């Protein structure tokens, strides 16, 4: 017999960080390696990423973008061409100094992001307004030399896509920046069942080299926020530094307007912390590698396994269906697939077969129901869709409960320490206040939401006039 | 009006290397960058890779493998654990020595291949024969510090998949090694229309750390060979060095048997050099991002563009169909899509519309035919399939014409210098002869083919008894 340890995770309440570590390892999403700060994406973790990737890639192509692939290495001199960019990234890049036995004459950095490589290429291939817009995307790995790391949330290396586009006008680039933020937001809400707040980053928090940065921010179960995708209007900063010019419709030389936008494996961390519970992971049906797991009961009895395999084959035509026919005990299997967050468990034993029925158990609510074989497939489809909606609704309710409106700094501190979550408060727009709030409370400005409200006339921190409503939170 | 330079490539006969460079750049597969030896995969080049990837990924999954993702960096001490492996790879790895402002206490190499990372992980997750086989695959970028580089064929960084598996027995690992070689061979022959010779690498040419290496070898238009995919039986070398042990069916500790196998963007180089001609690229229909390109004729005339777009939409349901409705001249468009090797061009003008017909032009033969709109789709399907078969047949005939059987070393030298191509000759199995042949002729042993013949009793190079038939060739 196999070893049949039942896996458990630490309770969220007791220790959220430990709960998270337990889930990512025990649900077999990742493993650690001897490479500091890097993770191994195990088959289950990678399969979730593949599903996210497939969906996002479809959206990226549907919006007219083409995939390309740029080099991994960036010569130091190239990285230095855009001043703000190098300042922002220099402290966190890995440097290659030797190739084989040779010392390089110029250091190469391992790409932390690829704006400069795209800029160099755009300069080569863009000459006329007829060459615009250029709408490119790249799927790749990037490296940022982080001191403290945590699987998915902050790792030395991560997987992502980075979009890079060039446009004739500022307005068109703005439109693209908004459009791709919406693609990210829709992916989060419709596929990952994660509600997001859309807004703009403050000057302090924007991307190094951008004119402005749009972001989607989500809220984790422990009340901390997570930046879940960003879209940058780069203006003409890189274009000027690299000389990306085109002959415009009036026959004059003009500099392009650029955008870039990225979405990463980090979102899997968000999925875990938004939907997970004390029995482990909960994966939304739309991105679940396995949507239904069949567990045969009394499978040694004649006909049970044949029946279960037939059922798997039938369901697999429209539903991602797995089966565990190993000789482990049903109890072990129930626990295992709850830990892995598989949306539905389907139990079928000899008595069920006789009665033409199966048992379905929902991962999200624990509800158990007996369902006739007739119309089973459409019943499952319907239930999966209900689970998807329910997860989103639950997450949204949680976020609403964890969002507090404040008008004074005292209230800010009290509510943040009592409840965590998002604090909505007015801000004067001054760097100093933003810094002061961070130093005093640990909360950072998450975004200036697109949906503005006028909560008060004064900044929550000083006596100046309020300029913007801001979402503040402690964040990952 | 747009600039309408008609692109030309150097003739193959005049300068094959320049022809190749012209094709990869003018067909817009790649661009160079300031990163030495690395290439930019442009949308068209990357789309071809995506199609190859999709097909191979399906095959890899259909044969029971799961995708995972390992870190990019390998600590020096980890790489050194398997002696033959580090010896083989040390001269060609890139070293990261600094992270941000800090000097690292241990250098990290950028993965040239990931055997050691997989080995470390396998040790963690394999305990019992129940955990076997482990059938993993990874899609990633790797880096090898090559001195001389050429797009696709030899680049500092390339994209590939690397399979890594663990098995209970030597026989099972052997079976896997053969199976995956066959997957590669079928992909080459059926999708890329590239005929391959299957065989085993000599000791000298095998993978650093392998027990033995199987290979598929293809022949380029200029008579040089290209290693097109390799599959390695690793034996227990890595498993012993890393302690990958399991409790076997008799309850005893045993070391696993491993395999690894890889297929890279290099194959695009093979596709170019096997099928291309003096008008540019020729892409086999099964992997062509665009299978049919519609070029409207006299498109300013009423109804032409509407008709062409309708046709595109109709065909797109089953055929990858493009349309160029730009205001460039038809002649420019013909040239452009011939350069890009699109299998079929579809011309449609006002007269054709009146007569309910279109004109189809094959890229492979240049044949032009008028085809009725009725049954057009199935006619195109049929023609695409014919092009696919024709490309394979042509390539196979070419290879046969360029393969020579020799029994003496003089003949070897004469035939190689006269005709190039594959030289089939017997070999005693001695390293010294293999080395001598290489030094004297520039040809390397490509493989000991699985299909052995007894051409002679003696080695082509010495007086010893012949052990194997070997394919020799100058190679990329």
Q: Are B306 and B291 in contact (CB under 8 A)?
A: no
**Digit-coded pLDDT (tens) for A152-189:** 999 999 999 999 999 999 999 999 999 999 999 999 99
Contact between A120 and B90 using a beta-carbon 8 Å cutoff = no
Element holding A415 (H helix, E strand): helix A409-419
Omega cis (within 30) before B133: yes
Mean pLDDT, chain A, rounded, equals 96
Cis peptide leading into residue B32 (ω within 30°): no
- Range A290-386: architecture per CATH: 3-Layer(aba) Sandwich (3.40)
Domain B16-275: homologous superfamily in CATH = Bira Bifunctional Protein; Domain 2 (3.30.930.10)
Q: Do A30 and A155 meet the contact criterion of CB atoms below 8 Å apart? A: no
Are the C-beta atoms of B339 and B309 separated by less than 8 Å? no
Contact (CB<8Å) B75/A2: no
Q: Cβ of A100 and B145 within 8 Å?
A: yes
Do residues A426 and A458 lie in contact, with contact meaning Cβ atoms separated by under 8 Å? yes
Q: Within chain A, which residue ranges are assigned CATH 3.30.110.30? A: 403-473
Q: Which residues of chain B have a CB within 8 Å of the CB of A65?
A: none
Supply the pLDDT for residue B86. 87
Q: Which of residues 121-150 of B touch A (CB under 8 A)?
A: 121, 124-125, 128, 130, 136, 140-141, 143, 145
pLDDT at B2: 44
**A450 CA: distance to closest CA in chain B (Å):** 34
| pLDDT for the residue A318 | 97
Beta carbons of A173 and A425 less than 8 angstroms apart? no
CATH 3.30.930.10 location in chain A? 16-275
C-alpha–C-alpha distance, residues A435 and A204, integer Å:
9
ipTM greater than 0.90, yes or no?
Answer: yes
Q: What is the mean pLDDT of residues A249-269?
A: 98
Which residues of chain A make contact with B102, given a CB cutoff of 8 A? 145
B110 with A108: Cβ contact below 8 A:
no
Phi-psi region of A398 (alpha: psi -120 to 50; beta: other; left: phi over 0): alpha
Please give the structure tokens belonging to residue B363.
């890229």
Closest Cα to residue B445, out of B420, B463, B464, B469?
B469
Distance from CA of A419 to the nearest CA of B (A): 36
Which residues lie below 8 Å from residue A46, measured CB to CB, with a gap of 6+? Answer: B66, B67, B68, B69
Q: What is the dihedral of CA A141, A146, A152, A157, to 10 degrees?
A: 20
Domain span(s) for CATH 3.30.110.30 in chain B = 404-473
Among candidate residues B142, B62, B47, the one with its CA nearest the CA of residue A57: B47
pLDDT surpassing 90 at residue A2: no
| DSSP-assigned letters across all residues of A207-254 | -TT-SEEEEEEEE-TTS-EEEEEEEEEEETHHHHHHT-EEE-TTS-EE
Cβ–Cβ under 8 Å, residues B198 and B428:
no
Tell me the C-alpha distance between A136 and A265, whole Å.
Answer: 20
How near does any CA of chain A get to the CA of B109, in Å?
9
Distance, CA of B333 to CA of B293 (rounded, Å)? 10
DSSP string, B101-135: TEEEEEEEEEPS--HHHHHHHHHHH--BGGG--EE
pLDDT tens by residue, A312-324: 999 999 999 999 9
CA–CA min distance B455, chain A (Å): 42
Q: Which is nearest to A142 in space by CA: A212, A89, A105?
A: A89
* Residue A145 · residue A94 · CB < 8 Å: yes
Q: Which residues contact B267 (CB under 8 A, 6 or more apart)?
A: B52, B188, B192, B194, B228, B229
Between chains, do B75 and A34 touch, taking CB under 8 Å as contact? yes
- Alpha helix (H) residue ranges in B327-444: 330-339, 350-355, 376-401, 409-419, 431-441
A55 touches chain B (CB under 8 A): no
A31 touching chain B per CB within 8 A: yes
- Residue ranges of chain A that CATH labels 3.40.50.800: 290-386
- How far apart are alpha carbons A253 and B187 in whole angstroms? 48
Closest CA–CA distance from residue B84 to any residue of chain A (Å): 16
The CATH T-level fold of domain B292-383 is Rossmann fold (3.40.50)
CA distance B44 to chain A (A): 8
- Answer yes or no: are the C-beta atoms of A110 and A94 closer than 8 Å: yes
**Two tokens, residue B440:** 């004297």
What is the CATH T-level fold of the domain B404-473, as seen in this structure? Translation Initiation Factor IF3 (3.30.110)
Which of A28, A72, A325 to probe the B interface (max B CBs under 10 A)?
Answer: A72
**Residue A243 — left, alpha, or beta (φ > 0 → left; ψ -120 to 50 → alpha)?**
left
* Cα R_g (chain A), whole angstroms: 25
A310 three-class SS: helix
Answer whether B108 sits within 8 Å of A143, measured CB to CB. no
Q: What torsion do the CA atoms of A394, A399, A400, A401 make, to the nearest 10 degrees?
A: 90
Pick the CATH number of A403-473 from 3.40.950.10, 3.30.110.30, 3.30.1200.10, 3.40.50.300: 3.30.110.30
Tens of pLDDT, residues A329-376: 999 999 999 999 999 999 999 999 999 999 999 999 999 999 999 999
Q: Is A376 within 8 Å of A179 (Cβ atoms)?
A: no
Q: CA angle, A57 as apex, A52 and A59 as ends, to 5°?
A: 100
Quickly count: other Cβ atoms within 10 Å of residue B323's Cβ: 21
**pLDDT tens column, A445-476:** 999 999 999 999 999 999 999 999 999 999 99
pLDDT of residue A6: 66
Q: Which residues contact B302 (CB under 8 A, 6 or more apart)?
A: none
With a CB-CB cutoff of 8 Å, which residues 70-99 of chain A face chain B?
70-75, 78, 90-99
DSSP state of A131: G
Share of chain A above pLDDT 90, in %: 95
What does the pLDDT profile of chain B (476 residues) look like in tens digits?
345 566 789 999 999 999 999 999 999 999 999 989 999 999 999 999 999 999 999 999 999 999 999 999 999 999 999 888 888 888 899 999 999 989 999 999 999 999 999 999 999 999 999 999 999 999 999 999 998 999 999 999 999 999 999 999 999 999 999 999 999 999 999 999 999 999 999 999 999 999 999 999 999 999 999 999 999 999 999 999 999 999 999 999 999 999 999 999 999 999 999 999 999 999 999 999 999 999 999 999 999 999 999 999 999 999 999 999 999 999 999 999 999 999 999 999 999 999 999 999 999 999 999 999 999 999 999 999 999 999 999 999 999 999 999 999 999 999 999 999 999 999 999 999 999 999 999 999 999 999 999 999 999 999 999 999 999 999 99
Which structure tokens are listed for A124? 């080569």
Interface of B with A in 326-355 (CB under 8 A): none
How much is the pLDDT for B182? 98
For CATH 3.40.50.800, list the domain ranges present in chain B.
292-383
**What are A111-162's pLDDT values in tens digits?**
999 999 999 999 999 999 999 999 999 999 999 999 899 999 999 999 999 9
Coil, strand, or helix at residue A340?
coil
Inter-chain touch A31–B94, beta carbons under 8 Å = no
The pLDDT of A276-301, averaged and rounded, is 97
B95–A121 C-beta distance less than 8 A: no
pLDDT of residue B1: 38
CA within 13 Å, CB half, B291: 23
């Amino acid at each position: 017999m196999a070893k049949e340890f039942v896996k458990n995770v630490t309770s969220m309440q007791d220790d959220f960080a430990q709960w998270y570590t337990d889930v990512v390892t025990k649900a077999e999403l990742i493993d650690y390696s001897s490479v500091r700060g890097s993770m191994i994406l195990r088959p289950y973790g990678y399969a979730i990423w593949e599903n996210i990737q497939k969906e996002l890639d479809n959206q990226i192509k549907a919006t007219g973008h083409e995939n390309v692939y740029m080099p991994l290495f960036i010569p130091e001199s190239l990285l230095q061409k855009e001043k703000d960019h190098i300042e922002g990234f220099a402290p966190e890049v890995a440097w290659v100094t030797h190739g084989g036995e040779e010392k390089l004459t110029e250091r190469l950095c391992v790409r932390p992001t690829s704006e400069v490589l795209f800029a160099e290429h755009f300069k080569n291939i863009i000459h006329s307004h007829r060459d615009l817009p250029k709408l490119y995307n790249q799927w790749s790995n990037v490296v940022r030399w982080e001191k403290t790391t945590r699987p998915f949330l902050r790792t030395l290396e991560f997987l992502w896509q980075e979009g890079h586009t060039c446009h004739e006008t500022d307005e068109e680039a703005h439109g693209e920046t908004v459009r791709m933020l919406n693609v990210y937001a829709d992916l989060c809400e419709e596929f990952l069942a994660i509600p997001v707040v859309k807004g703009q980053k403050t000057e302090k928090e924007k991307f190094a080299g951008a004119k402005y940065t749009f972001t989607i921010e989500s809220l984790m179960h422990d009340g901390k926020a997570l930046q879940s995708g960003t879209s940058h209007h780069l203006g003409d900063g890189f274009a000027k530094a690299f000389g990306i010019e085109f002959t415009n419709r009036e026959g004059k030389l003009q500099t392009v307007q650029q955008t870039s936008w990225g979405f990463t494996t980090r979102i899997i961390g968000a999925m875990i912390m938004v939907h997970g519970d004390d029995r482990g992971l909960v994966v939304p049906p739309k991105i679940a590698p396995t949507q239904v797991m069949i567990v045969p009961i009394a499978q040694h009895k004649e006909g049970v396994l044949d029946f279960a395999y037939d059922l798997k084959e039938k369901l697999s035509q429209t539903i991602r269906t797995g089966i565990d026919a190993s000789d482990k005990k049903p109890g072990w299997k129930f626990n295992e697939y709850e830990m892995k967050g598989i949306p539905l468990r389907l139990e079928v034993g000899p008595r069920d077969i006789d009665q033409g029925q199966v048992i379905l158990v929902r991962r999200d609510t624990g509800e158990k129901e007996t369902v006739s074989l007739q119309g089973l497939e459409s019943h499952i489809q319907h239930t999966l869709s209900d689970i998807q909606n329910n997860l989103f609704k639950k997450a949204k309710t949680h976020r609403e409960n964890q969002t507090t409106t404040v008008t004074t700094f005292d209230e800010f501190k009290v509510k943040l320490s009592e409840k965590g979550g998002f604090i909505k408060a007015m801000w004067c727009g001054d760097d100093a206040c933003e810094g002061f709030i961070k130093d005093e409370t640990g909360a950072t400005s998450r975004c200036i939401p697109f949906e503005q409200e006028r909560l008060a006339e004064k900044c929550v921190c000083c006596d100046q006039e309020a300029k913007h409503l801001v979402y503040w939170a402690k964040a990952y």
